[in-house]
Structure 1
Amino acid sequence: MYRPKIMNKWDAVLKICIALLCIPSTLYAGEIDLSGSRLFVSPSIKSPVKETIIRVLQEEVRKRTDIHLGITDGWSGSPVIALALSSDGVLNGKPLPEKTRLSLQAESFSVVVEEDNSHPIVWLIGADERGVLFATGHLLRTSLLADKQILFDSSNAIQSAPEYPVRGHQLGYRNTANSYDAWTKEQYEQYIRELVIFGTNCIETIPFDNTPSPHMKLSKEEMNRHISTICKNYGIDYWVWTPANVDLSDESLFRTEVKKHSDYYRECPHLSHVFVPGGDPGDNHPRYVMPFLKAIAAELEKYHPRAGVWVSLQGFSDEQIDYFYHYLETENPDWLRGVVSGPGSPPLSDTRYRLPKKYMHRHYADITHTVRCLYPTLRWDQAFALTLGREPVNPQPFYYAGLHDRYAPFTDGFLTYSDGAHDDLNKFIWSRKGWSMEEDATGITEQYVRFFFGTKPDDRVADAILGLERNWDGPIEANGGIEMTFLRWQQFEEAYPRLQNDWRWQMLLLRAYYDTYTKRRKLYEQGLEQEANKLLGQAPEMGAAKAMKLALEKVNEADLVNIAPSLRKKIDGYCDALYHSIGLQTSVEKYQASGAERGCVLDFVDYPLNNRWWLSDQFEKIGQMETEAEKLSALEVIAGWENPGKGSYYDNISNISQSPRVKTTVYDATDVAWWDRGKSRKRLSTQLFQNFPQLLYEDLDPKARYLIRIAGYGDALLRVDGERISPTLYNKELEEFKEFPIDRRFFQDGKLEVSFDEPEESHLNWRQYSKVCDIWLIKIY
């Protein structure tokens, strides 16, 4: 009779152990403690990128946690962070997770968590060296890194590939940059590292700008070689922006320029792409630009055979654009890699549709400027435009995420235009959006906060940053969020003293103080002007001289009483701190900025937000008039400038708080003038304008008589309801008037639509184009 064999307990244990060994490693769920982990690095990862990845992981973890990640060649005894290529297959007896053995596109990666012998393994697996680098960035961005603690949530395990192959930023070491020119080698590497951690794969510099800077610690040649070497060590692309500022039709100058390029290529340790803008700067016809590009491409191939040459059509006329495309059609050059679209280029969609598919297309997006630029800040209050100017600290995550998504489908990616550290968050928004359009501005901002600040999640610092963006949306007077956002930043300032020396934290606090100071100052100073206008309205009773004296004293109270001195002191303090922490030059005199337009917010922090300078000049002219009647007439115009009377309307064309009937939004960035180095004494409304505004008036009196009055410069080719109207008064100088009587037949329905034809001014610089600053619809009776 058969009797089953009875196992002793040790036989049973042995069989269970054998069975467990046959079970593959399982996916680990939940939060993983990597505080005691070590690094296992595949020998397949090539140098120097391998050493760079190890250094990035070790240094970034240590500075946040005080934990040193050692190197191991085994799998047992502690948690392991394993760096590998998808082609590795098996590492030291352990197979890579099955799901990562697929053929992956360039730069893609997988982050997989396994449990092995009761210890987790976090796999950072790339399709190539860049893929491992970006997997490392994902781990750093999504982990909780605190004192003596590394926590990674397994829900952040991911398999990811970039949507766009070009994701970069221009970091030109030159005098016009408001901070880069003060950086050390170490600061440049740290900044490039941080951009790479967020998905950046290329950096562009400007090697041929010879303008000296008092801030430079190294020669431009040495720093540009250093940046090239950094890009080589990180395995990312190195671009150069090299405008041709000479007359290429001159054969001697042509050869000299080619030699300059050749000499640079020979000395450059690592070079991936050369970008020559067709214009801005440069003024050469493509019949000379294209042979020049062909010549430098031949030189480039000698030293960097895999590098590409790019060109932009910036500043090209229609004839020049047609010439360029005809050249591509007939010559079909293989030496040209692609076309760049930047300020002054044809629309990105037009370029992509006309460009043969063999050529790539790159966006040269301006994320650094707020006015007089490719993408001006929309709905910006005049007070901010006149004080913060063109290069303030400008975190605008939603605005720039939207711009990226709008234009990205027409491109192979971007390399943004930046002129300093002030646009820092915008770079990280674009880097992540270039990796995945599915990422949103809020989520990217939260990654930014987690990685750079390590603040408590419940403090919602990301929301406070988004609040700074909302500060700039619409009229200051109607934006109650400015004070609420300021209160939140004051609380953070007190709660996080450890961040007081962090330059990113300093920039955000500077903006919170500056915005609030400007709001309080505008409300105060505009109130003074309203009181002054009431005094001018009493001029017939008290006399012109006395009215002007009292009105000027009233508006000048703004110079005698600072409405928020504690905020003003903080602004000074943060500007000084930023100069010493990151080299941010917020003043020409104090910090030797290259120009007042280059981020000098400290020089304009107290720029008048009422018309006291203009009134002083006007009163001086009025005082010289011969008769009292003339003086009273002039004062009547000033007193009623913004209040033309019952039934009449006034619009300050580009002032968001004083243009309710204006239906157009300025996209060409010429809406804020730059006169007298930003310290113009013109009326504030004169410094804002549109070239061809459109307005809609409603609820008009069909039995009345109306007159349209316009102040601006040059021509104003007025149309009402689509019909051209003739003027009875037509002065072309600033702050002089044009007047157009309006026939009753246009407003019998109670409405008027106003528009303007474009005068022929193609022979002029855009700064000389005709402008419309103020419009009145005046009810005569």
Structure 2
Amino acid sequence: MDIDLTRAVVVCSGEAAGVEAKAVDVLIEELAFRTGIELSRLFAFPNHSVPVIVIGTIESLSKMPNPARPSFVPYLKAEGYMLRTVCEESAQTVWIVGAEARGVLYGVGKLLRRLRWGEGSIRLKAPLDVITAPYSTIRGHQLGYRPKNNAFDAWDTAQFDRYIRELALFGANSIEILPPRTDDHPTGPLMKVEPLEMMVRLGEIIDSYGLDTWIWYPNMGEDYSDPETIRAELEERERIFRELPHIHALFVPGSDPGKLEPDPLFAWLEQVAKLLQRYHPKAKIWVSPQIMRYDSASWMEAFYRQVKAEPEWLGGIVFGPHVDVPLPELRTLIPGKYPIRRYEDITHNYQCQYPVADWDLPFALTLGRESCNPRPNAQKHIHNLLAPYAAGNIGYSEGINDDLNKFVWCDQDWDPETPVAETLGDYARWFIDSERAMSITEGLFALEENWVGPLAENEKVEKTLQKWQRIEREAPARVHGNYRFQMHLLRAYYDVCIKRRLHYEAELEQAARDALRQASHAGSLTAAERAEAILAQAEEKPIARFYRERCEKLADELFRSIGYQLTVSRHFARSQGRGAFLDTIDAPLNDIRWLRTQLAIVREADDEEQRLALIDRALNRTNPGPGGFYDHLGSYRGFRRIDPGAGWRNDPGYLNSPRIAHAMHLLSIPEARQRELGGIPLAWIAHANALLDTPIVVRYETLDPAVPYIVKVVYIGETSGKTPRDCWVRLTANDGFVLDDEVAVKAGGVTVRECKVPVEAIRGGKLKLTFIRTRGFKRLNVAEVWLLPDKGDLHAG
């Protein structure tokens, strides 16, 4: 049955104060905001028959006269609540009873998420009987106010207040904020409030909901052995500690940014702790062993030594990006008195802690690292796999692109048994449209499915858009202006746009190659001209214009509605890599860049014979010839030749498993250097990647055991950065033969190597090639492998 709460009254204790009173305010305000109905507030049961919502803590309600005093409250754990409906002939009552004030707020959130609402209507499906408490003691997300974020820097305090409230309604008890000085610009063009002032205001908002305030505080000083640096750094922190109303904990990353060794790091943090506890006596400092450098093993040894000394000021350890020790192992190495908090990256798609598994290259080229990325099933799996080893999570985020993921994590931190469909239903019902919650839930799941498997073969992409278009047609105007609807609708249009372009540009590339195959008849220069003209059609006669224009319009609407920055020029995004994925919606999806380089080389050749040879070489770049093998390890087909290791389901962070990764930095290599390399084919962008000591193992099963082979390998260097990122590699055959050793893979470029495989290294027609990093930066990238019958020279054709 349904309880009609349209005429309900809210009964609470007249002595309710602080967060308990705030919870009552939240219930009344949120319903008025959505339905136009403002429920009355009473301090005793009404003397006439109307539905009643009773709200309070066990303590406050116990002091009220019957019937407001519940007689059936069970034992409630910390932060827990009871939510129960009692339906009698004369009255219908909804009870929200919290173990303490926070529990009341979470109970209100659960009731709101269960309501069916509309203009002038509030209904609740009964019976409802929930007794619950959180699984994790730490539950929340980082909300950074800085230009690097893709939306937060455009917000005012009212928008932050609403977002923090929404996270609390899904069970969050912690919000992490940032100091004015980080590894980003101090201010940006969209900021409405000076950063320190906003930090203080955010602290006040967080405190008003009774949540814990965490501060992510990197060490940005240049020299912490310099007394002047120490003085300035402490002075900066003291001002913040003094002005914020409440600080529960300080999280200091080991690096990213930061460059202190563990011994001086812990000595410095002891000074910070004394200052912090002067203003916030119960606050502790948490530290992460995040490290981005060559000798991470020695750094970790020193870190463990410091932690095992058990400093009093240390509150716990943080596990997050660039922590290279698996969480279960880290838990065994950290003294049991220290909890571990997760700092999980829920915001990025690749080059991150939990990349999208086997993400297809067309999406990586266009959507980039930080697009709208609802991944409900993946996020639940990642959460639950490691939940037993940590006290909870405060997620790392760079804006609202991961909005749905935040609420999935809140629900899973509360109860890992919660079906993710339930979370999506609540999200859709409460935040977007109660009447179309089921359709929206299906649409959100479908967006995740769009990214599974090769895009060219994914028949679900068009169906996903159809789901969202139907909602778009049927939903009222208030839904059309809802940013959570807009951002997911944009993704649905975007994905179809990219798929249409992928098919079109693949056909153009094949047509251009066909034109080049006629070079011996038409003449090399004529064939090159025809190929160039065909390739140019992607720019001169683009397709899917409607989808692109719809994306552009939605991007503008999102900028107006929530400050979402999807372009650099119009929306002031920090950079394309920071969420401005509308700037790459036209990125080439075929090998046009590489082919144009080849055509330029052809035109510069001195004679026809040479030009024809260059064309033939270009057309057969990956052709291994008779008896040979070619594999693009970053493709679905090529990656199947690699031993998967533990695999994504057991190792979603790929600390012990190879994965498909993406090297977008190659596209920005200077043109002259690209020419030296003969161009940058897309096969170099998507490649196989392994971290630390994890090998990349490639197997062949059907070789001729009497034939010696040549191996040709393309290694991809890491991005150039502030830390050295070169690495050195060893290649072995069947574990007993070293084929190539101390191969230096320079950061920012490409390294191509060839070596012989002796006949005796091939056993029974089988060959196991093992690539392993021997030293240097912690990532190994292999893009292409040729295995070619040795005809007496080292060339791969």
1:53-72 to structure 2, matched below 5 A, reads 53-72=23-42
- Counterpart position of 1:297: 273
Instruction: For residue 648 of structure 1, report the CA deviation from its aligned partner.
Output: 4.1
In structure 1, how many angstroms separate the alpha carbons of the residues matched to 2:519 and 2:735? 41
CA contact (8 A) 2:429 2:437 kept: no
CA contact (8 A) 1:390 1:599 kept: yes
Say whether 1:404 aligns with 2:383.
Answer: yes
User: How many equivalent residue pairs?
Assistant: 743
- Counterpart position of 1:213: 188
- Counterpart position of 1:17: none
In structure 2, how many angstroms separate the alpha carbons of the residues matched to 1:631 and 1:573? 46
Q: Which of 623, 631, 654 is the matching residue for 1:651? A: 631
CA contact (8 A) 1:105 1:161 kept: yes
Distance 1:462 1:242, change over 3 A: same
CA contact (8 A) 1:97 1:112 kept: no
1:697-776 to structure 2, matched below 5 A, reads 697-700=700-703, 706-713=709-716, 717-724=730-737, 726=739, 737-743=752-758, 749-762=764-777, 771-776=781-786
Instruction: Point out the more displaced range, 177-186 or 715-724.
Output: 715-724
Write the letter of the residue equivalent to 2:775.
Answer: E
Instruction: Point out the more displaced range, 119-128 or 205-214.
Output: 205-214
1:328-347 to structure 2, matched below 5 A, reads 328-330=307-309, 332-345=310-323, 346-347=325-326
In structure 1, how many angstroms separate the alpha carbons of the residues matched to 2:421 and 2:621? 43
Say whether 1:227 aligns with 2:202.
Answer: yes
- Counterpart position of 1:8: none
1:220-259 to structure 2, matched below 5 A, reads 220-246=195-221, 247-259=223-235
In structure 2, how many angstroms separate the alpha carbons of the residues matched to 1:558 and 1:659? 29
Instruction: For residue 91 of structure 1, report the CA deviation from its aligned partner.
Output: 1.7
Say whether 1:671 aligns with 2:649.
Answer: no
Write the letter of the residue equivalent to 2:732.
Answer: R
CA contact (8 A) 1:31 1:151 kept: yes
Instruction: For residue 147 of structure 1, report the CA deviation from its aligned partner.
Output: 2.6
- Secondary structure class of the residue paired with 1:189: helix
1:129-140 to structure 2, matched below 5 A, reads 129-140=101-112
Instruction: For residue 100 of structure 1, report the CA deviation from its aligned partner.
Output: 1.3
In structure 2, how many angstroms separate the alpha carbons of the residues matched to 1:203 and 1:370? 23
1:383-462 to structure 2, matched below 5 A, reads 383-456=362-435, 459-462=438-441
Compute the TM-score of the two structures, normalised by the length of structure 1.
0.90
CA contact (8 A) 2:436 2:471 kept: no
Write the letter of the residue equivalent to 2:687.
Answer: F
1:136-285 to structure 2, matched below 5 A, reads 136-209=108-181, 211-246=186-221, 247-285=223-261
CA contact (8 A) 1:352 1:361 kept: yes
CA contact (8 A) 1:338 1:361 kept: yes
Instruction: For residue 458 of structure 1, report the CA deviation from its aligned partner.
Output: 8.0
In structure 2, how many angstroms separate the alpha carbons of the residues matched to 1:648 and 1:61? 68
CA contact (8 A) 1:465 1:508 kept: yes
- Secondary structure class of the residue paired with 1:400: helix
Write the letter of the residue equivalent to 1:481.
Answer: K
Deviations 1:100-144 (A, max 9, x none): 152x22200001222467111211100110000000000001111
Query: Which structure 2 segments of 5+ residues have no match?
Result: 648-652, 671-678, 690-694, 718-727, 792-797
In structure 1, how many angstroms separate the alpha carbons of the residues matched to 2:472 and 2:84? 38
Deviations 1:479-534 (A, max 9, x none): 11111111221222111142111101011011001111111111111121122223
Write the letter of the residue equivalent to 1:719.
Answer: T
Deviations 1:141-162 (A, max 9, x none): 1111223222222343200000
- Counterpart position of 1:21: none
Instruction: For residue 323 of structure 1, report the CA deviation from its aligned partner.
Output: 2.7
Instruction: For residue 437 of structure 1, report the CA deviation from its aligned partner.
Output: 0.6
Q: Which of 4, 10, 27 is the matching residue for 1:39? A: 10
Compute the TM-score of the two structures, normalised by the length of structure 2.
0.88
- Secondary structure class of the residue paired with 2:394: strand
CA contact (8 A) 1:114 1:120 kept: yes
In structure 2, how many angstroms separate the alpha carbons of the residues matched to 1:427 and 1:90? 37
1:241-640 to structure 2, matched below 5 A, reads 241-246=216-221, 247-315=223-291, 317-330=296-309, 332-345=310-323, 346-456=325-435, 459-498=438-477, 499-640=479-620
CA contact (8 A) 2:362 2:498 kept: yes
- Percent of aligned pairs sharing the same letter: 33
Distance 1:635 1:237, change over 3 A: same
In structure 2, how many angstroms separate the alpha carbons of the residues matched to 1:297 and 1:736? 47
Say whether 1:694 aligns with 2:690.
Answer: no
Write the letter of the residue equivalent to 1:189.
Answer: D
CA contact (8 A) 1:310 1:339 kept: yes
In structure 1, how many angstroms separate the alpha carbons of the residues matched to 2:744 and 2:391? 49
CA contact (8 A) 2:79 2:133 kept: yes
Instruction: Point out the more displaced range, 483-492 or 732-741.
Output: 732-741
Distance 1:552 1:720, change over 3 A: farther
In structure 2, how many angstroms separate the alpha carbons of the residues matched to 1:543 and 1:658? 35
- Secondary structure class of the residue paired with 1:509: helix
- Secondary structure class of the residue paired with 1:661: coil
Q: Which of 60, 65, 75 is the matching residue for 1:92? A: 65
Let me know the Cα RMSD of the aligned residues. 2.6
CA contact (8 A) 1:208 1:242 kept: no
CA contact (8 A) 1:301 1:307 kept: yes
Instruction: Point out the more displaced range, 132-141 or 334-343.
Output: 334-343
In structure 2, how many angstroms separate the alpha carbons of the residues matched to 1:491 and 1:95? 46
In structure 1, how many angstroms separate the alpha carbons of the residues matched to 2:12 and 2:467? 44
In structure 2, how many angstroms separate the alpha carbons of the residues matched to 1:455 and 1:682? 49
Instruction: For residue 735 of structure 1, report the CA deviation from its aligned partner.
Output: 6.3
Distance 1:32 1:503, change over 3 A: same
Distance 1:223 1:736, change over 3 A: closer
Instruction: For residue 475 of structure 1, report the CA deviation from its aligned partner.
Output: 0.6
CA contact (8 A) 1:258 1:292 kept: no
Query: Which structure 1 segments of 5+ residues have no match?
Result: 1-29
In structure 2, how many angstroms separate the alpha carbons of the residues matched to 1:250 and 1:454? 57
- Secondary structure class of the residue paired with 2:40: coil
Instruction: For residue 252 of structure 1, report the CA deviation from its aligned partner.
Output: 2.2
In structure 1, how many angstroms separate the alpha carbons of the residues matched to 2:121 and 2:68? 29
Instruction: For residue 378 of structure 1, report the CA deviation from its aligned partner.
Output: 0.8
Distance 1:229 1:571, change over 3 A: same
CA contact (8 A) 2:79 2:100 kept: yes
In structure 2, how many angstroms separate the alpha carbons of the residues matched to 1:554 and 1:650? 27
- Secondary structure class of the residue paired with 1:758: strand
Q: Mark the structure with the bigger radius of gyration.
A: 1
Instruction: For residue 61 of structure 1, report the CA deviation from its aligned partner.
Output: 0.8
Deviations 1:238-292 (A, max 9, x none): 1111111112222221222122111111111222111111211111122222122
Write the letter of the residue equivalent to 1:349.
Answer: P
- Counterpart position of 1:74: 44
Distance 1:279 1:468, change over 3 A: same
